[in-house]
Chain A
Amino acid sequence: MTDISMHLNTDEIELWAQGLLPAARAMHLADCSLCRVEAERERKVILELVQLPKFAPRAGFADRVMAQVKVPTPSGDWTA
C-alpha cells in the first residue's frame, strides 16, 4: 500500500500521462506542486514521442525482399 503523501515515482508519472493513475495517487498529485511540475515535464516528452510519425520503405521493398528469399519447390529443393 503506497502512502498517499509519498511523491510519485517514474512509473506512476507514466501511468498518469496515460490516464491510468489510481485515484488515491491522483489525489496526491492534485495536492503536490512538485509532483505536478515533474509530471507535466514528463508528459510533454511522452506526448512528443507518441506523436512521432511512422516511416515506410520505398515502393517495391517487398518484391526486393522476396527476390532473395528461398522458397521450397514441389520437389523439396529450395530456390531463391
Chain B
Amino acid sequence: MFSLLYRMVRDRALAEDLAQETFIKVLNGIKSYRPEFKFSSWIFKIANNAAIDHLRRKSIDTLSLDGAPSAETPEQMRATSLQLGDRTESPLDEVENRELGTAIERAIARLRPEYRSCILLRHVEGYSYEEIADTLELPLGTVKTYIHRARNELRGYLEDRRD
C-alpha cells in the first residue's frame, strides 16, 4: 500500500503521512468494514482516495511556473513565479530521485492519476480486473479501458526514450 501511495504522490514524507492517515482511518473505522469486501481492497480503496484527494488539492493549489494567474506585468510574473533553480536537493530528494528516477517510474508519473492507480494495482500489486473494479468502485469496462490506455501511453513514453 505504501508503494502505491509513494508512486501516486512521488514524495516519501507525504506518502508516509497518507499511509498513516489511511491506517488510522482503517483501525478507527474497523466497525464499518464489510466482510464481503476483501480487507486489503478496503485498505487500498482508502489509500487511493487519500492520494487522489491530495493530487486534486495540489492541482488547485499549484502556481504556474510563469507566475500567479493575477500577474499582469512582467515584474509581477517574475515576482510570483516559481524559481526551480533555487531549490536545494535534500537527502530525501536524493533518495526519491534514486528510487523513482528510472524511465518506467518517470513514465508512470506522467499518467493520469486514475490510470496510474489501475495500472499499479494490476501489475505491481497483482490485482485482477474485477478486484480493481471493486476496490476503486469503477465499472469493469472502465478499469479495462484505463489499463489498456495506461499501457499504451507507457509504451509510447518508453519507446520515445529509446528512439
Contacts and interface: CB of A to CB of B under 8 A. Distances in A.
Interface of A: 10-11, 41-42, 44-46, 48-50, 52-58, 61, 64-65, 68-70
A61 B16 contact: yes
Contacts of B144: 10-11
Interface string B147-163: 01001001100110000
A54 B16 contact: no
A1 B146 CA distance: 26
B20 A64 contact: yes
Interface residues on B, range: 20 to 34
Contacts of A58: 12, 16
A49 B123 contact: yes
Query: Looking at chain A's contact residues, is the secondary structure mostly helix, strand, loop, or mixed?
Result: helix
Contact of B28 (A10, A53, A69): A69
Interface in B16-30: 16, 19-20, 23-24, 27-28
Contact of B23 (A10, A44, A52, A65): A65
B132 interface: no
The 9 closest A-B pairs by CB, nearest first: A49-B123, A69-B27, A48-B104, A65-B23, A55-B3, A10-B148, A57-B16, A54-B3, A45-B154
B93 interface: no
